[in-house]
Amino acid sequence: QQIFFSEYPFTNTYNVSYIHYDFDLETLKKANVSRDTNYLTVPIELLEKIKPLALNITANLNSPFEKLIAIEDYLRNNYIYDGNYTRAPPGIDPVEWFLFYSRRGVCTHFNSAFVLLARSIGLPARLVAGYLINSAAEYQIVKPKQKHAYAEVLFEDLGWITFDATAPCNCLMKAEPPKLEIIYPSEGAYISGSKITIAGEAYGFYKNAELYINHTGFSLTFWNGEFAFDNTTYIQDGELSIEVSISDAAGNRASDSVKFTVDNTPPKVSITFPSNGTSMSTPTIYINGTINELNKGNLKPYINDTRFTLAYWNASTGTFSFINQTSISGEINVEVTFVDLAGNRGSDIVSFTVSPQQPPTRISTHTNITSCSSNMALKGSTFRVEGNVYDSDGNPVSNLNVVIYIAKDKNGEKEIVGAGKVVNGHFNITCYVSKEINVGDYLIIAETVGDDKYEGSTSDPPLRVLAETTVELSCPEKVVMGRMFTVNGTLKEKLSGQPIANQTVCVTIDSKSYLLTTDNQGSINISNLTIWQPGNYTVTLAFNGSDYYLSSSCSKEIRVLAITITPTTNETFIRGEQATISGRIHADDIPLDFENLTIKFDEKTTFTTQTNSEGYFNITFKVPENQTLGEALIKYSLEYYSVEKLQRIKVMARTTIQCTNKNTLKPGETLNVTVSLTDNLNQPVTNATVKLVFLFKDENKTFEKATDNNGAAEIFNITIPKDFSGNITYTATFNGNEFYLPSSYKSSIKVVPDTSSPNMLYFLFAGFPIPIVIISAYIWRRRKATREATHEVQAEQEKSEVTITPKMEGPKLSIEFPQIQTPFPLVWGVGEPLKVKITLNDPSNHPIPSATIKLNVDKFGEKKLKTSKDGEVEATYTFNEKGTYKFKASYKKDEGDEVTAEAEVRIVDYKEEVVKLFNSFYTSTKEKYKGVGDEMTPRELQSTLMSQTSQVKHKPLDTIISTFEVANYSLHPITRKEYEQMYLSINEFWS
């Protein structure tokens, strides 16, 4: 398994390497599936519906693989691929809807159904997302429309095996790419001639397909399903790599390649003995020579005279020797010919005369091998044989041929390994042992060939043929502490590459040694290895040699990674409110997927959770109402690995600050304000400093005082100046402390002139009758109050998307959503608790406590709520289905008019919403910027926009692209954080 993910774009080229294993059908049929329960989960309500179907599909089948193929075939053959499928209605699982109702869908539906059907009968499966690509092309453009989902099943000892239950579709991007095969020349062929043809066939492609070849010296001469390319220029001798590819109108590609050798040079054959025109009278005749040719392969030279046979041939040096098998006399004409791998022919001719002779009395000889490389020779290498040849009187012999053979026994088949001459009774011959020969014990035979004067003789000491070996070791570069890994190895002959079976090898890891015996393929395997201590270790595979094989060894470094728990939990919890504990478990860059984690909060509350495929975990809970404020401890424990992580957080409480005072005062009176500070449990907050700031006559007056044991602080001795009238505004503030969050309260006090004394109205209206004065004053005050009330309603309506219908000079009702901050629209995530806050104030903006508010929410109905002493009421709703929901709050006092407030909230899937925001952004860029096309990848769009925009837009643009890629192409969860990030970045780009 390899998972790649980055929050940031790559600016440099990077490479990914992997090993791909192909298993034959019999291996898959015999394999058992893993019993990993992490991949067997099926929702209970769905299990009882789909398991009977799975059992029916797989009836009478035995092996897991056969059952999986049956499920795959059933889905492919009984369901329709349809990109315009009908979505599942609310309340029905999408897989259930696909299997039993619509029977139409895309790759996600087919393979989700495959996974759940397999799981329902105990076969561990998972859904995987990726792209459909051309597996043969080294370079290709991957487009968003190539997104694809498929399935994988976990088999013991084999790992994850891929299945794809998607039915064939008639869309442009076909599920299967076209096929192309080069038929001639074959891989590794040798060809000659001035005309070279590349021929093959292609099929299964979409319309308007075009063929390409990677060599400019070839042109297409035939194309009708079958194709042919012929060379248009002379092709030099040497190895040639040709790739032919096809591309159709839908962008589907396929290719095939072949590597072959062009050889138009004939071999050069040279007969070195006997020379032309020679006369000889020996009974044994040798035809010796050399062949100069690069492409000999396993071919051998041949001779036109059937009385001669090939006695010696060394393909490496090109040396050959033919020897007569019968008595020969007279004029002899022989031709030695060699035909190379490309069919080129070379030959040489020699003519000589052999005179018949009566057998003379010959002198006997004695041959003795004195040295033979310690009686050992390595396959595929040379060794030297030295010895002496003396006659019967002990005199050294000269000019006799000595042929060196190797044979299992004296009477067995012999193979020539060298030849030379005796000089002054001594020979020293370099011999060559073929790499194809088997190791073992042999005889090394030195045969002195007699002539008309001397008889022949032999010497045959033992010789052991050995082979050099090589070991290959395969193990992961990085493993996670405590997690199982596998080490594989192979023992082979170094030159021939043949596997060496039934040999003992030793694998050493972390001072532990394992003795293993190689199988028929020369392989060993150790699975279920674990190392618990992080660090760098050396893995060594050693072969200490045996009777016929030399020793060899190989070592690799393996890094055991420590497990890290990285919390992303907020360091502050609010008592009585929802809190999220989250983080990631990883070892370096490797996520610990599907691991069980125990979390203890303050040693009182225990949670268990499991990481997802990328190692992330997330739980949400409500901090208890009785939680002690201050520092608390969160302990994260991976019990299996004995890994723990401690995180210290702070638990705080929200506060409410309220003030009591007279609503109206007269000039010269003393103002008394009592401040009370309570926590979320309505308990007094003691010894907390509160600050009051009064504003009148464009001056600020500030007072500070600590709360008493009742959470109260009294501010007094503020005398209203006798010449002041109007409103005094004040703000009470608690700035928070170690345990409590800040809060504030704002209000005003009206200072009314004393009407019992003469005032300006008396003088202004002195000339009018008293009733007229009173009526005029009433009208003026009434109009002023009406204007103020109207202005307040308009301001409230403009502030948010909430609709309010108050009565003039009546109560004021408002709806807020504290979790949705400005400038975001009223959008919230499906399945997430949403808090709604309703505030009820009187015309003077003072809270109305203990009032009954009716709150009606779509699909939740109506509930009645009582306002607190702050005139507020809160409720929390969780919406499990997407859609638009209407909130309507209403309040009616006695026989008065009803006041209402309304709001609509759209519930979304954040992943879909991010994609929707991006698509809207994409559409807008096409209208404003040049060169923005319909088929661009996100990074192509980014590049086009960056070339036309200022530097200040590049950062939000990169955030837009990166966030979309994570939402659209990965399995990474998308939260409100990413949604807000996307929304703000788009606003910033257009600003």
Stretch 39-44: mean pLDDT, rounded? Answer: 90
Residue 697 belongs to a domain with what CATH number?
Answer: 2.60.40.1930
What is the rounded distance in angstroms from the CA atom of residue 48 to the CA atom of residue 100? 13
Q: Report residue 281's pLDDT band, with 50, 70 and 90 as the boundaries.
A: confident
Same domain? For 969 and 867 the reply is: no
Same domain? For 39 and 158 the reply is: yes
Return the higher-pLDDT residue of 771 and 482: 482
Most confident of 346-350, 575-579, 672-676: 346-350
Stretch 852-858: mean pLDDT, rounded? Answer: 93
Q: Which of 538, 561, 584 is the last residue of a domain?
A: 561
- Predicted local distance difference test score (pLDDT) of residue 207: 58
Contact 562, 479 (CB under 8 A): no
Same domain? For 284 and 189 the reply is: no
Query: Is the pLDDT assigned to residue 226 strictly greater than 70?
Result: yes
Same domain? For 36 and 86 the reply is: yes
Return the higher-pLDDT residue of 181 and 728: 181
- Predicted local distance difference test score (pLDDT) of residue 963: 93
- Predicted local distance difference test score (pLDDT) of residue 788: 37
Q: Report residue 250's pLDDT band, with 50, 70 and 90 as the boundaries.
A: low
- Predicted local distance difference test score (pLDDT) of residue 169: 65
- Predicted local distance difference test score (pLDDT) of residue 940: 86
Residue 360 covered by a domain: no
Same domain? For 622 and 744 the reply is: no
What is the rounded distance in angstroms from the CA atom of residue 305 to the CA atom of residue 286? 13
- Predicted local distance difference test score (pLDDT) of residue 297: 85
- Predicted local distance difference test score (pLDDT) of residue 98: 93
What's the CA angle centered on 267, arms 261 and 272, to 5 degrees?
150
Same domain? For 985 and 915 the reply is: yes
What is the rounded distance in angstroms from the CA atom of residue 384 to the CA atom of residue 44? 79
Same domain? For 98 and 214 the reply is: no
Same domain? For 213 and 148 the reply is: no
DSSP 923: H
Q: Report residue 173's pLDDT band, with 50, 70 and 90 as the boundaries.
A: very low
Summarised one tens digit per residue, pLDDT across range 760-793 is 333 333 333 333 333 333 333 333 333 333 333 3
Q: Report residue 123's pLDDT band, with 50, 70 and 90 as the boundaries.
A: very high
Query: Is the pLDDT assigned to residue 796 strictly greater than 60?
Result: no
Q: Which of 800, 799, 889, 789 is nearest to 838 (CA)?
A: 889
How far from 571 is each of 432, 743, 758, CA to CA, in Å?
77, 20, 63
Q: Report residue 138's pLDDT band, with 50, 70 and 90 as the boundaries.
A: low
Summarised one tens digit per residue, pLDDT across range 63-97 is 999 999 999 999 999 999 887 788 887 778 899 99
Query: Is the pLDDT assigned to residue 508 strictly greater than 80?
Result: yes
Residue 780 covered by a domain: no
Q: Report residue 175's pLDDT band, with 50, 70 and 90 as the boundaries.
A: very low
Residue 506 covered by a domain: yes
Instruction: Provide the residue range defining the domain that includes 460.
Output: 365-466
Q: What is the DSSP string of 854-911?
A: EEEETTTEEEEEE--TTSEEEEEEE--S-EEEEEEEEE--TTSPPEEEEEEEEEE-HH
- Predicted local distance difference test score (pLDDT) of residue 249: 61
Q: Quick one: what percent of the chain has pLDDT higher than 70?
A: 89
Same domain? For 53 and 156 the reply is: yes
C-alpha neighbours within 13 Å on the C-beta side of residue 34: 18
Instruction: State the CB neighbour count (10 A cutoff) for residue 484.
Output: 11
Residue 426 covered by a domain: yes
- Predicted local distance difference test score (pLDDT) of residue 443: 94
Same domain? For 831 and 872 the reply is: yes
Query: Is the pLDDT assigned to residue 549 strictly greater than 90?
Result: yes
Determine which of 537-551, 617-631, 803-817, 831-845 has the lowest per-residue pLDDT on average.
803-817
Determine which of 24-38, 145-159, 172-186, 244-258 has the lowest per-residue pLDDT on average.
172-186
Q: Report residue 469's pLDDT band, with 50, 70 and 90 as the boundaries.
A: very high
Residue 583 belongs to a domain with what CATH number?
Answer: 2.60.40.10
Stretch 558-564: mean pLDDT, rounded? Answer: 95
Q: What is the DSSP string of 314-342?
A: ETTTTEEEEEESS---EEEEEEEEEE-TT
- Predicted local distance difference test score (pLDDT) of residue 758: 44
Same domain? For 643 and 695 the reply is: no
Q: Which of 908, 924, 940 is the last residue of a domain?
A: 908
Q: Which of 555, 538, 539, 488 is nearest to 518 (CA)?
A: 488
Return the higher-pLDDT residue of 520 and 90: 520
What is the rounded distance in angstroms from the CA atom of residue 512 to the CA atom of residue 510? 5
Q: Which of 200, 232, 262 is the last residue of a domain?
A: 262
The overall average pLDDT reported for the chain is: 86
Q: Which of 641, 615, 633 is nearest to 560 (CA)?
A: 641
Residue 763 covered by a domain: no
Stretch 786-806: mean pLDDT, rounded? Answer: 38
Same domain? For 603 and 551 the reply is: no
What's the CA angle centered on 201, arms 196 and 202, to 5 degrees?
135
Query: Is the pLDDT assigned to residue 916 strictly greater than 60?
Result: yes
Residue 154 belongs to a domain with what CATH number?
Answer: 3.10.620.30
- Predicted local distance difference test score (pLDDT) of residue 755: 60
Determine which of 214-218, 468-472, 796-800 has the lowest per-residue pLDDT on average.
796-800
Stretch 640-648: mean pLDDT, rounded? Answer: 93
Query: Is the pLDDT assigned to residue 447 strictly greater than 70?
Result: yes
Residue 537 covered by a domain: yes
DSSP 684: B
Contact 711, 690 (CB under 8 A): no
What is the rounded distance in angstroms from the CA atom of residue 504 to the CA atom of residue 524? 10
Residue 708 covered by a domain: yes
- Predicted local distance difference test score (pLDDT) of residue 803: 47
- Predicted local distance difference test score (pLDDT) of residue 360: 64
How many structural domains comprise the chain?
A: 9
Q: Which two tokens stand for residue 824?
A: 């975001």
pTM above threshold 0.85: no
Residue 575 covered by a domain: yes
Instruction: State the CB neighbour count (10 A cutoff) for residue 720.
Output: 18
Q: Which of 656, 520, 459 is nearest to 576 (CA)?
A: 656
